[in-house]
Structure 1
Amino acid sequence: MVLAARRTPIGTRSRALAGVTLEHLVAPVLRAAVQDAEAATGADVEVADVVLGNCMGPGGNPARVAALAAGLGVQVPGMTVDRQCGSGLAAVLAAAQAIEAGDRRPRIAGGVESASTAPTRSVDGAAYGRAPFTPEGWTDPDMVRAADALATADAISRPRQDAHAARSHRRAAAARDAGRFQAELVPLAGARADDAIGVSAPLLARLPALFPEGTVTAGTATRISDGAAALVLAPQQARGTAPGLLIRAHAVIGCDPALPGIGAAPAIQGALDRAQLRIRDIAAIEIVEAFAAQSLAVLDRLGVAEDDPRVCADGGALALGHPWGASGAISMVRLFSRLIRGGAPTGTTGVAAASIGGGMGIAAVVEVIR
């Protein structure tokens, strides 16, 4: 179960966190999460492993580098997970599965992405933005074009997309102003709060489409970002009297690589089925909002209204930003804040999920234990 959850502010690429290297972005968060867990349980946390999601970093096993940078001790190993936009959540589930399999020692799991300091990649001297998500002969769309294709396939209009993005910004601004992010944030030099909240609906409506034939705009696509998140996981028996989030069920699925944005929907349904729950039973839903069209397509498939207050109640990636390898873990941090820090009673349930480039989806169902 999750006993502690922290994250950095999220900075748009080349802005507030541009000078912070990967390990120094996440190391303070690892330390803060351990300190929180020790304060909550009244016992030392002997970390068995650090598992971090990362997509575009320098290689060299960033999780191990971060564990050393955090001062956790040379005995603490690290493992880096790449499941693209689902990497941070995949890291949390990998840590949970190790505990479920019988190694009852605590672990830190999460994700980190420094798009600002990511190395330039090349093949035969030619630079490229990302590695292919599919083999030769398969559809491998640019993510903006994939979101446009999904909007067309599901008849998701430009006004719906604009309204969804504006709603995310309003909710994030309200949460920031009310101080609901404060307890989860680990301040970093140069960025003490999320740096990109507050785009208005009239402004969104004036933005041009990114492609002439499409409907996706810079305002309905999340920003490429820097950020990190970390959670401490331990067996339920180790919590003492500390509240936490029990991971009840999870699912990872594959879907059509041509429409990768829908992946979160079947993943959520699969996790709900394993937990023997329905979407109406869930009190808090956190979906990584890579694009407004993608989020709307997922909600439509789940039968959830686009303005449902359960969904990204304090705003999502459309407002806060999307540090790829960290975003899934940030969704779990948000659930921890909404349910544990928010005082939800025992038995309250939540879902974190992400659609993934290449045609996949990942989801986890959690339950409050007090």
Structure 2
Amino acid sequence: MKEAYIIDGIRTAIGKFRGGLSPVRTDDLAALVIKALMERNPGVNPAIIDDVILGCHNQAGEDNRNVARMALLLAGLPHTVPGETVNRLCSSGMSAVIHANRAIKAGDGDLFISGGVEHMTRGPWVMSKVSKAYGNDSAMHDSSFGWRFVNPKMKAMYGTDSMGETAENLVDDLSEQAITREDQDLFAYNSHMKATKAQKSGRLAKEIVGVEIPQRKADLVVFEQDEFIRPGTTLDKLAKLRPVFRQNGTVTAGNASGLNDGAAALLIASADAITQYGLQPKARIVASQVVGVEPRIMGIGPVEAAQRVLKKAKLTFEDMDVIELNEAFAAQSLAVIRSWGLKDDDSRINPNGGAIAIGHPLGMTGARLLQTAMIELHEKGGRYALCTLCVGVGQGYAVVIERV
């Protein structure tokens, strides 16, 4: 069976809600990383790309009607190159990469662009039509985040807890782990401090391509630093924030990921393509695994996903040199880490900070984790990395990669 390799990856800096990327259309953001990826790899003729596969969570606004296809055309790729958009909510970007991996293994292509995009700032309001003439059952929702147009059957069967409530559910259900508010705030603080250090040292810059943003009455601005990171946060500041989802809860705006904007793209190739086009692979995709879990505790998904992917790869946690765990919430992250039997401050976990600090553009994040882990393996000289996310409505996704 053929093997799939990650040749290169690039991402935008991640914007905060209504922040620096606000003026940029979602499809333009996706096009930018595709174009930048091709410019970084001039030996690859765009016409030979077998498919462009992007993950996207929203798809209700400028990311509608197959944003992958729109973006590749906007990026200047030939119209003969096809495009597909996939949606597995928070893990959409990871799913896109594994779609390419599977296609290569199946012999359905040799060279792919995969990644993800999400622009939560520009997610539109959406309104349903009435079900009958002169009806009054129309509804309107903000498409940026959370449930919309809920099926009453789904609500009766599984509930429709918000993502923050699912994190609170984990604190309650895993009471033996004693995940306190203080634990969560400390985890969030450490994420910001690690990300701050990585930003100041230039480590994060190795992942990023700048986004040129025209200004009305000034020179254009190049957006090239993750802006959600809070270098000045403290444990005291975090402790003063009120719980968001329950009156006596523990999840706050400070120990959760945010609403963010960004895009990422990776070049995925078979061994044949590497030889034919003289490419230099950076990582091999070893194994992947997706699982389903109870929706009300969706955040626990990475536990089983990671255990199963490691078993599939015939590896253990001890073999992992880097672990990129998406920080949807500090409570959720701690529940996963402790369920794995690891320490809260394991130095392999998110060494440059995670989503609580860097941000979580939903459709992009899975691709970012793989790109970040790939670069980190080369920075540290490590061999294996585990990348994993929880997924809304109860799923977990995990991928193991090996440095080449």
Deviation at 1:43, TM superposition (A): 4.8
2:162 is the alignment partner of 1:128:
no
Deviation at 1:238, TM superposition (A): 2.9
Deviation at 1:343, TM superposition (A): 5.7
2:252 is the alignment partner of 1:250:
no
CA 1:119–1:167 in structure 2 vs 1: closer, same or farther (change >3 Å)?
Answer: same
Q: Could you list the runs of 5+ residues in structure 1 that have no partner in the other structure?
A: none
Which residue of the other structure, out of 332, 337, 341, is the alignment partner of 1:299? 337
Task: State the TM-score, normalized to the length of structure 1.
Answer: 0.94
- In the other structure, the counterpart of 2:240 is 206
Question: 1:50–1:107: 8 Å Cα contact kept in structure 2?
Answer: yes
- In the other structure, the counterpart of 1:344 is 381
2:106 is the alignment partner of 1:101:
yes
**In the alignment, residue 267 of structure 1 is paired with which amino acid?**
A
**In the alignment, residue 153 of structure 1 is paired with which amino acid?**
D
Question: 1:4–1:34: 8 Å Cα contact kept in structure 2?
Answer: no
Q: Could you list the runs of 5+ residues in structure 2 that have no partner in the other structure?
A: 131-137, 214-220
Which residue of the other structure, out of 6, 10, 25, is the alignment partner of 2:10? 6
Which residue of the other structure, out of 201, 209, 222, is the alignment partner of 2:257? 222
CA 1:136–1:151 in structure 2 vs 1: closer, same or farther (change >3 Å)?
Answer: closer
**In the alignment, residue 279 of structure 1 is paired with which amino acid?**
F
**In the alignment, residue 275 of structure 1 is paired with which amino acid?**
A
- In the other structure, the counterpart of 1:194 is 226
1:77-107: CA deviations, max 9, x gaps? 1111110001110111011111111023210
Deviation at 1:287, TM superposition (A): 1.1
Greater shift, 232-241 or 313-322, is seen at: 232-241
Question: 1:37–1:232: 8 Å Cα contact kept in structure 2?
Answer: no
Deviation at 1:358, TM superposition (A): 0.4
Deviation at 1:44, TM superposition (A): 3.8
1:255-266 aligned at under 5 Å gives the runs 255-266=293-304
1:186-219: CA deviations, max 9, x gaps? 1013422000212222211111111312100110
2:192 is the alignment partner of 1:172:
no
CA 1:225–1:241 in structure 2 vs 1: closer, same or farther (change >3 Å)?
Answer: closer
SS class of match (1:51): strand
How many residue pairs get matched? Answer: 363
Question: 2:50–2:109: 8 Å Cα contact kept in structure 1?
Answer: no
- Mark the structure with the bigger radius of gyration: 2
1:136-193: CA deviations, max 9, x gaps? 4222210111111112222310000000000000000000000001121010134220
Question: 1:114–1:323: 8 Å Cα contact kept in structure 2?
Answer: yes
SS class of match (2:209): coil
**In the alignment, residue 140 of structure 2 is paired with which amino acid?**
A
Question: 1:224–1:323: 8 Å Cα contact kept in structure 2?
Answer: yes
Distance 1:106 1:4 in 2: 12
Question: 2:287–2:312: 8 Å Cα contact kept in structure 1?
Answer: yes
Distance 1:43 1:26 in 2: 19
Distance 2:186 2:172 in 1: 17
**In the alignment, residue 53 of structure 1 is paired with which amino acid?**
G
- In the other structure, the counterpart of 1:52 is 54
Q: Which consecutive segments of 4 or more residues in structure 1 shift more than 4 A?
A: none
Question: 1:50–1:78: 8 Å Cα contact kept in structure 2?
Answer: yes
Which residue of the other structure, out of 86, 92, 104, is the alignment partner of 1:87? 92
Aligned-pair Cα RMSD in Å: 1.6
2:401 is the alignment partner of 1:366:
yes
Which residue of the other structure, out of 75, 83, 99, is the alignment partner of 1:78? 83
- In the other structure, the counterpart of 1:140 is 160
Which residue of the other structure, out of 62, 71, 90, is the alignment partner of 2:67? 62
Question: 2:16–2:261: 8 Å Cα contact kept in structure 1?
Answer: yes
